[in-house]
Structure 1
Amino acid sequence: MTPLLSLDAVDHAFEHGSAGGSFGLRGCSLELERGLRHALLGANGAGKTTLLQHLNGLLRPSAGTLRWNGQPFDYSRAGMAELRRRVGLVFQNPDRQLFSAQVEEDVSFGPLNLGLDAATVRARVASALDAVGLQAQGGRAVHHLSFGQKKRVCIAGVLAMEPEVLLLDEPMAGLDAPMQRELEALLDRLAARGVTVLLSTHDVDFAYRWADRIHLMADGRAIASGPAQQVAQDEAALRSAGQRTPSALALHALLAERGVLARDAYPRSVDAVLAALRALPTLHSGVATP
């Protein structure tokens, strides 16, 4: 199947004066399959943010190719406008993305730039704010919002464009546990609607539990990509990307080694391991009871 969005052997060099530039990406190739949940893992400086900005067209490759539906991307003004409509990017710091005084104004900016009529814009803004749980906050001043609320306004602004791909740079950073659960539920709803989601994260446990596919980055290139269960068991690739084995797999392996749990199961979360333990017979005075 042709990937919806992909990078093919992309380089990106940042210029730093006459001494030459540093490379953000080196021969980086990555494919996003339509409608799946993708997680991007890598240490600081691995190139995750640079990669996301290439997928959205904010940065242009020094070499290599960005492809949409298998076709090389057209960096003309019309091509850029079409890509930004189809591929939305949410920055890690919401203050980089918010520039209107009022929530509804900020969320409506993109749809207005598409030339949509007022009624359609109002409907899209209402739907986007409802999706992120801010339907009652449309009239509030942006600078009165909490950090987490600002992040949700940024997501709403992207959703109002009705993108096919949603890119998020460290979306969980700075959010407390309840807000992280709310965001995860939102991303699941979007994926269920067919939106292709790619997020960068440092949380290997979340990536393994949530994603359909995991992509590992190191030194400006994707060093491993594949189904979450497959990549999460590649200890060498995880180490190269500055990651550890997910806790659920490490705990399950230890219990399987001691004969407590079956070896052929690959739980996606610690909660799943605990559920498997609770399902085991209980020992009373050396006698197992159901």
Structure 2
Amino acid sequence: MLALDAVDHVFENGSAGGSFGLRACSLALERGQRHALLGANGAGKTTLLQHLNGLLRPSAGTLRWNSEPFDYSRAGMAELRRRVGLVFQNPDRQLFSAQVEEDVSFGPLNLGLDAATVRARVAAALEAVGLQGQGNRAVHHLSFGQKKRVCIAGVLAMEPEVLLLDEPMAGLDAVMQVELEALLDRLAARGVTVLLSTHDVDFAYRWADRIHLMAAGSCIASGPAWQVARQEGMLRAAGQRTPHALALHTLLAERGVLPGDHHPRSVEAVLDALRTLPIPHSGVVNS
């Protein structure tokens, strides 16, 4: 539904020819799937997300929406921003209103919706991120994690078909990370296509349906999470390691402890598989 086709992006920085943010980068998002984007710092993850949302325009190549080249007209941009929401890594780049409710309502109001519809969308979005009843709070009194939730609520109030998140887990404590993961799962279950960038290969392997690896401005591998996670060379090129769950399961399968045809996606799942095994008897009889 949303794709980059051999996209280059050159940042004009005063040097001869500028510097490349993306190089012949191709990536496609399948509708209703959970996508994780992995790569080292400087690989181009943020630049890619901003192209998918129309904030940046390719120096070469094509952005496609529903298989058609994207129309960068004013109407086309408005439609893309309505359907494809982007949440920045730093919430202070995205929040600009004094109160929570004002910030979340900004997008729906710009769509020209009536007041009752806007109120309903704002209430639903705040409830989705666990901030129901917090609409009158001052934004500058919120914690970093709460600010991130407000940013997500502002995007959700637009009822997007695609949700893009740049390092959404960064700066969140363990409890908030669990809550955010549950929210993303609920959105995916409703048919929202989710793409998030992350440095956490274990989370990506456990959570995502599909993983995309980036290096030097290019997407070097894409596919089902369980397949991409086995491409050790590509993982290293993207500055990643093999997920712990996969490494542990492979080791146990090689020793005949667990069957090799299963694909447990977390260490907890590997431990659960071990718990189902019978406990061997030592054969020693106590006198």
Please tell me the TM-score bracket, short chain as reference: over 0.9
Deviation for aligned residue 1:253: 1.0
Tell me the distance in 2 between the aligned counterparts of 1:279 and 1:272: 11
Matched, 1:32 2:29: yes
- Runs of 4+ residues deviating >4 angstroms: none
Is 2:11 the partner of 1:5? no
Residues 47-126 of structure 1 correspond to what in structure 2 (within 5 A)? 47-126=44-123
**Equivalent AA in structure 2 for residue 45 of structure 1:** G
Q: Distance in 2 between matches of 1:18 and 1:221?
A: 21
Number of residue pairs the alignment of both structures matches:
284
Separation in 2 of the partners of 1:265 and 1:99? 48
SS at match of 1:215: strand
Which region of structure 1 is more displaced relative to structure 2, 209-218 or 12-21? 12-21
Aligned residue for 1:250? 247
CA deviation after TM superposition for structure 1 residue 76, in Å: 0.7
Shift of 1:258: 1.9
Gaps of 5+ in 1: none
Cα drift, residue 25 of structure 1: 0.2
- Distance in 1 (alpha carbons) for counterparts of 2:105 and 2:283: 67
Identity %: 88
CA–CA distance in structure 2, aligned partners of residues 97 and 36 of structure 1: 25
Residues 241-282 of structure 1 show CA distances to partners (whole Å, capped at 9, x for unaligned) of 111111001001111222211122221000010001111111
Q: Distance in 2 between matches of 1:284 and 1:146?
A: 54
Match of 1:201 among 198, 210, 221: 198
Provide TM-score, normalisation by structure 2: 0.97
Match of residue 189, structure 2, among 192, 198, 203:
192
Q: Which residue of 2 aligns with 1:129?
A: 126
| Alignment of 1:177 onto 2:174 | yes
| C-alpha distance in structure 1 between counterparts of 2:201 and 2:33, whole Å | 18
What is the CA deviation profile of residues 166-191 of structure 1, one whole-angstrom value per residue up to 9, with x for unaligned ones?
A: 00000000001110000000000000
Q: Against the structure 1 CA distance between its residues 115 and 242, is the aligned structure 2 distance closer, same or farther, given a 3 Å change threshold?
A: same
Taking the aligned partners of 2:147 and 2:191, their CA distance within structure 1 comes to: 25
- Give the drift of 1:53: 0.0
* 1:233 matched to 2:230: yes
Task: Give me the CA root mean square deviation.
Answer: 0.9
User: Which residue in 2 is equivalent to 1:211?
Assistant: 208
Cα deviation for residue 18 of structure 1 reads 5.0
Residues 259-278 of structure 1 mapped to structure 2, 5 A cutoff = 259-278=256-275
Structure 2: how far apart are the matches of 1:278 and 1:136?
43
**Pairwise CA distance, 1:286:** 3.7
1:281 and 2:281 correspond: no
Q: Deviations over 1:112-136 (max 9, x none)?
A: 0011110110000000000000012
Q: 1:223 maps to which residue?
A: 220
Among 14, 18, 37, the alignment partner of 1:17 is 14
Paired with 1:30 and 1:171, the residues of 2 have a C-alpha distance of 20
Q: Could you list the runs of 5+ residues in structure 2 that have no partner in the other structure? A: none
Q: CA deviation at 1:283?
A: 2.5
